[in-house]
Structure 1
Amino acid sequence: MKKTYSLIVPFIYTLFLVSCNTETNFPDNDKVIEDEKFVQYGTPFAGVPEISDINMYEVNPLVFSQQKNLDGVRQRLDEIQDLGINVIWLMPIHPIGQEKAFGSPYAVRDFYDINPSYGNMEDLRKLVSEAHERGMAVILDLVANHTAWDNKWITENPSWYKQDGSGNIMIAENWSDVAALNYDNPTLRSEMIDVMKYWVLEANVDGYRCDFAGGVPVDFWTEAIEELRDIPDRDIIMFAESADKQLFNADFDLIFGWDFQARLKEVFREQRQASDLFTSNEADYRNVPNGADILRFTTNHDDNAWEDTPQNVFNTIEGSLAAFLITSYFGGVPMVYNGQEIGVSDRIPFFFGTNYRINWAQNPHILEEYKRILKFRAESNAVRKGVLENLGSTAAILSFKKTFQNEEVVVLVNTLGKDSEIQIPDSLKGSKWLNVLLDTEVVLENELALSAYSYLILKEI
């Protein structure tokens, strides 16, 4: 993780055993946090990756397995690990609202419970524990901006919500199925921090992807993240659904790279010059603090459901792979949305009421390519941490080198659906490289031809 915190624990608690006939059994090493509200389940995960080392995977439990629940996710942890993933993001797992509802998982009825169709706390704990055993962290989707209309907070604590001049609780943004929370209320702030602590401690999760983070005051996030990072013996990943760099001031680790994604689409769909991605990348990383990073992606649950599949957005399945390679190697933290890695041709729904399930048997060759791309990223310090250099990129071909200490990696990507050529810089002419994906030697001559949407990943020999 990006920071190490020195913690002074003012009280040492007496270890205790929970009787086997109580409702919930905790391991002997459970620890009660200072306010005695929640109990640490299990052992905090010691393998949370550094932010720049993350390969993230977004899971929509509603469609991920035939079971459509958390245990179905758990049963495919080996496949997720084999893809090269080290952080799993679970979309919201809570009971959803029924009043004024459309079936959105982002309309949360109870922040302290798990949707019964997904399972229960023991199912979540088992999923998290087995992910940790495989070296993968797990983060939950936190919806802090709003709640469902039948969340009990509305009747029990109406002052926790924004109200109009007549005292009517207001909708959040233009989403009529959810009610807007009022962070001017200090009691609400305290309660939402308790929600965040609850899942970190009671389920042993490793942080949060914070939905619509820009709708919540930055000073709340500052307070909340500080309290989470003060929990002993624990690293926390905090990922904001926002492109607002002010959220880094609250100690978020990651924000979304929407601007880069938009430019990437223009390159593939409108034949904007591939070399323009350098300008976009430079703007993305302006004023990003050390240790923080930008999430890069070709699709997510919103894009897939409301816009289109990656292969349609980037013209072909080959185009989508070329675009994914750029998001994984050019800079930033890459993310895969479930089904993307097998080239699912459907737009995947995420609202309740669907019977859709991903068919994992399709396109095994696409899956193997995703594995190769992510595997080398995990192995290469140059790809993850290296200094970026433009190697004479053209309108069609993005060509760059990443250098970290003594390791050099060269990547060339044809962003057009036709054959393209690029002149090799004088400094590289005659140099020998290893084609990472084919494990063959390549000698760079005067020019290089790439077929439609093809790419080369070269490591210095």
Structure 2
Amino acid sequence: MNALKSKLKLSAILLSCLSVMLIVSCSKSNGGGGGSTTPVKTVTSSGDPAQYGTPYNNVPNTQDMVIYEVNINTYTPATFSGAMARLDSIKALGVNVIWLMPTYPIGVLKSVGSPYCVMNYTGVNSQFGTLADLQAYVAAAHSLGMAVIMDWEANDTSWDNPWITANPSWYVQNSSGQIQQLSSYTDVAALNFNNQNMRLAMIKDMKYWIFAANIDGYRCDDADNAPADFWTQALDTLNNIKTHKLIYLAEGTTSGEISSGFQLDYAFSYYSSIKSLFAGSTSVSSLFATNTSEIASISASGTKLRYITNHDDASSDGSTITEYNGKQGALAAFAMVAYMGGVPLIYDSQEVGYPSAINFFNVVPVDYTANPDMVAAYKKILAFRAAHAAVKIGALTQYPDANIAAFEKTSGTDDVLILVNTKNSSETFTVPAALQNTTWINGFTGANITFSTQYTLPAYAYVALHR
């Protein structure tokens, strides 16, 4: 769910029949719901479940991550076991982090079917399977060398979440004491971040899955809508679990989220810019400007999640085949996402070129045997990224061209050059003097390329070179 876009709302949150004793140092502030309070550090708590399995010790560093978003509703059957059958294929793409979309029970009262309308924060959606099935899925991913992060909705709950009746003060209320919905979203009730007990219960439930299912962190939905000091409080507490190296991805855009402890947030502007570029309504130079400004907008400790689609966009904007003018256009766009900067994301179905929009409220079976040529291309794109530190952390030099995105990245002795034709027609790159008479190795074919003064690329072609 993205609060910055007008899309289908997905919301949710929590349950806990908590018999909880929390040892904390707390300071409450008065006032209306949703506001910020003085940060409270939750240091220790009692009642955490026993650790399931062995904590995964190969969680990748941020710069090395390739994330795959799993929407279980695209699998046949749409269950944890059905999703587990796809793990080998996902790993083969070059993925090392799985992001599981919400697996919690979905509220019924006032519900529109959103998986982000969470009725029980520590429950499992029975349509997908049981806790044991989820544990088995995480264990299987770990065995293949992939970390697993779960989705978290921190802003609201379903109207039939037990918190509603047990703890009404944990919600935003009007002057008559009526619990309020979140913004314009009728399916969820807004939580009150001025209530410290609510905060502590939520953090307790976030800890639950790290122990109970051995997960490796969270993607936090609509993170801009929760106070930054809550995220500091929550992530500081989770970081006290010294047995786990945890990943934190914010669906948000503010530098405050990185300061609060997230390693990644969303590249909303980059997505808009690359879509506009392939639609012919903006320029290559504009994409580079967006790349620079987005990265500069956050501290050096964080980076951006880059994508050509995700569950929101596949629902509202349609298939990547439509957005980027065919299979080759989608691959060209992804090559830029993978190589220009940040951490790349693949959403279920994009690697097989699913041709239609996917409403993630529904079961939408995808044929994962389709378009094996696209799957092979994704593997090559990501293999080149994995092989070159320059792609992941190198300094970027842009070579201006009206139609071809051309840039070089260097890190130490590693030197790569990326050329992407952003047009659905053959285009000729005027080779700058600095590149003339230089020889490179094609990272996909192994062939040598020596530049003269011009280099022609077919429609939506892309090359990744190194020397």
Q: Which residue of 2 aligns with 1:60?
A: 71
Per-residue CA deviation, residues 88-121 of structure 1 (Å, 9 max, x unaligned), is 0000000001111111101000001000011111
Contact kept, 8 Å, 1:255 with 1:294, in 2: the verdict is yes
Q: Return the match for 2:99 from 67, 89, 97.
A: 89
**Counterparts of 2:61 and 2:354 in 1: how far apart (Å)?**
30
Residue 303 (structure 2) aligns with: 293
Give the Å deviation of 1:287. 4.2
Which of 139, 144, 156 matches 1:146? 156
What do the CA deviations read for 1:354-386 (whole angstroms, capped 9, x no partner)?
A: 4x2111111110110011101111121111111
Q: How high is the sequence identity, in percent, across the aligned residues?
A: 39
The 1-side partners of 2:219 and 2:209 are apart by: 13
Cα offset, 1:218, TM superposition = 0.7
Worse-matched range after superposition: 443-452 or 35-44: 35-44
Of residues 420, 433, 442, the one that matches 1:413 is 420
User: Which residue in the other structure is 1:398 paired with?
Assistant: 405
Tell me the CA shift for residue 37 of structure 1.
2.5
Superimposed CA distance per residue, residues 390-447 of structure 1 (whole angstroms, 9 cap, x where no aligned partner): 12x2120110001011010000001011111111121221111111112211111111
Instruction: Give the aligned partner of residue 47 of structure 1.
Output: 58
C-alpha contact 2:437 2:451 (8 A) present in aligned 1 = yes
Shift of 1:317: 1.7
Alignment of 1:147-162 (within 5 A): 147-162=157-172
Q: Verify the 8 A CA contact 1:211 1:241 in the aligned structure 2.
A: yes
Structure 2 residue 49 is matched with structure 1 residue 38:
yes
**Residues of 2 paired with 1:396 and 1:347: CA distance?**
28
**Amino acid of the structure 2 residue aligned with 1:438:** T
Amino acid at match of 1:183: F
- Aligned with residue 243 of structure 2, among 217, 233, 239: 233
> What residue is the counterpart of 1:426 in the other structure?
433
Deviation at 1:340, TM superposition (A): 0.1
Contact 2:254 2:298 (8 Å CA) reproduced? no
Measured after TM superposition, the shift of residue 132 of structure 1 is 0.9
Report SS of the residue matched to 1:52. helix
What's the CA shift for 1:288?
2.4
Task: Show the counterpart of 1:436.
Answer: 443
Q: Is the 8 A contact 1:55 1:84 kept in 2?
A: yes
Cα deviation per residue 1:289-316 (whole Å; 9 max; x = unaligned)?
2331100000001101112111211122
**Cα shift at 1:184:** 0.7
Deviates more, 1:68-77 or 1:201-210: 68-77
Q: Deviations over 1:120-168 (max 9, x none)?
A: 1111111111111111000000011111111111011111111112111
Equivalent positions of 1:184-223 (< 5 A) are 184-223=194-233
TM-score (norm 2): 0.89
Partner of 1:252: 262
Partner of 2:190: 180
Unaligned runs of 5+ in 1: 1-32
CA contact 2:274–2:333 (8 Å) conserved in 1: yes
Unmatched 5+ stretches in structure 2: 1-43
User: Structure 2 matches for 1:300-449, cutoff 5 A?
Assistant: 300-352=310-362, 354=363, 356-391=364-399, 393-449=400-456
- Structure 2 Cα separation of the partners of residues 199 and 324 of structure 1: 32
The answer as to whether partners of 2:106 and 2:117 remain within 8 angstroms in 1 is yes
CA distance in 2, matches of 1:50, 1:301: 24
Q: From 114, 122, 144, give the equivalent of 1:134.
A: 144
Report the residue type matching 2:442 in the other structure.
Answer: N
Distance, in Å, in 2 between the alignment partners of 1:430 and 1:282 is 29
Q: What SS is found at the alignment partner of 1:62?
A: helix
What amino acid is the match of 1:409?
A: V
Query: Is this contact kept in 2: 1:271–1:416, CA < 8 A?
Result: no
Give secondary structure in 1 for the equivalent of 2:463.
Answer: strand
SS at match of 1:411: strand
Deviation at 1:35, TM superposition (A): 2.3
Deviation at 1:52, TM superposition (A): 1.1
Aligned residues: 424
Look up the equivalent residue of 1:305 and give its one-letter code: S
The corresponding residue for 2:36 is none
Alignment partners' CA distance in 2, 1:69 and 1:245: 37
Tell me how far apart the structure 2 counterparts of residues 291 and 236 of structure 1 sit (CA, whole Å).
15
Deviation at 1:325, TM superposition (A): 0.6
Superposition pairs for residues 77-116 of structure 1, below 5 Å? Answer: 77-116=87-126
Q: Give 2:322's aligned amino acid.
A: N
**Deviation of 1:351 (Å):** 0.7
Distance in 1, Cα, partners of 2:54 & 2:76: 30
Say if 1:272 and 1:395, in contact at 8 Å, map to a contact too: no
SS at match of 2:428: strand
1:51–1:291 CA contact under 8 A, matched in 2: no
- Give yes or no for contact 1:52–1:291 (8 Å, CA) kept in 2: no
Alpha-carbon RMSD across the aligned residues, in angstroms, is: 1.2
Taking the aligned partners of 1:138 and 1:240, their CA distance within structure 2 comes to: 15
CA contact (8 A) 2:255 2:299 kept: no
C-alpha distance in 2 between matches for 1:173 and 1:201: 33
Contact conserved, 1:61 with 1:91, CA < 8 A, in 2? Answer: yes
* TM-aligned CA deviation for residue 34 of structure 1: 5.8
For the residues of structure 1 that align with 2:281 and 2:411, how far apart are their CA atoms? 31
C-alpha offsets along residues 180-214 of structure 1, whole Å, 9 cap, x if unaligned?
Answer: 11111100000000011000111110000001111
1:267 — aligned with what?
277
Work out whether residues 149 and 218 of structure 2, in 8 Å CA contact, stay in contact via their aligned partners in 1. Answer: yes
Q: Distance in 2 between matches of 1:272 and 1:306?
A: 21
Task: State how far apart, in whole Å, the 2-side matches of 1:415 and 1:287 are.
Answer: 26
Note the C-alpha offset of 1:318: 1.1
Distance 1:111 1:95 in 2: 8
